[in-house]
Chains A and B, each alone.
Chain A
Amino acid sequence: AQSVTQLDSHVSVSEGTPVLLRCNYSSSYSPSLFWYVQHPNKGLQLLLKYTSAATLVKGINGFEAEFKKSETSFHLTKPSAHMSDAAEYFCVVSVMNTGFQKLVFGTGTRLLVSP
């Protein structure tokens, strides 16, 4: 069965320092993977997606993620955190279920950014 594990429930960084949010997946097939961001009292917004093209995926707001099949990982990074990056981030794996794409969400990582 497909699943996704976000290794940290909370990550704290200082503004201007690098961000690393970790995600491991389990999939029987070549997966499609996504990162979504949720700001307080808002819906989720797509940051980036991997669909078996380049293993390094660039997203919005300076975020990127690298698909590593050997490690079954899809970690999200950003070179320099901004205060506006404080939010909850969800790693998501896509599963094709009887012809329908089903998304399996991780439990989320809350990113805290201090001045």
Chain B
Amino acid sequence: NAGVTQTPKFRVLKTGQSMTLLCAQDMNHEYMYWYRQDPGMGLRLIHYSVGEGTTAKGEVPDGYNVSRLKKQNFLLGLESAAPSQTSVYFCASSRDRENSPLHFGNGTRLTVT
């Protein structure tokens, strides 16, 4: 049982380049999330989805887009990368909205030069 899988694990981009981070979960969870983790700041929610075909903004959505075309996949896109987007990105999923625990992937370390 793989749980939540993120690809790639590492990536280096130049300013202005684009990329897509892929998240896949095999637990049939309705809810999926993208977070970024920066030193001394905890985790901050970028975007989330409450079901297939839905997306919503979190607390730091600027510069990112997401799509949830299939229930098991949640994609995070950077259209024009900036050095401020250097971070570790985590995908998570949960069964429902009422205090069910989040299951996290192992993260993607992104560096934008």
State the A residues within 8 Å of B (CB): 9, 32, 34, 36, 41-46, 49, 51, 90, 94, 99-103, 105-108
Contacts and interface: CB of A to CB of B under 8 A. Distances in A.
**Which label, helix, strand, loop or mixed, suits the secondary structure of the B interface?**
loop
Interface stretch (B12-20, B41-49, B66-74): B41-49
A100 B50 contact: yes
A105 B42 CA distance: 6
A46 B99 contact: no
Interface of B: 4, 40-45, 48, 50, 56, 58, 90, 92, 97-99, 101-102, 104-107
A43 B42 contact: no
Given A90-B42, A103-B45, A105-B43, A43 B99 contact: no
B43 A43 contact: no
A44 B106 CA distance: 8
Contact of A42 (B44, B99, B101, B106): B106
Contact of A43 (B44, B50, B56, B90): B90
A106 B92 CA distance: 17
Contacts of A45: 104
Contact of A103 (B50, B56, B98, B102): B102
A36 B75 CA distance: 24
Contacts of A90: 42-43
Contacts of B99: 32, 49, 51, 94, 101
Contacts of A103: 43, 45, 102
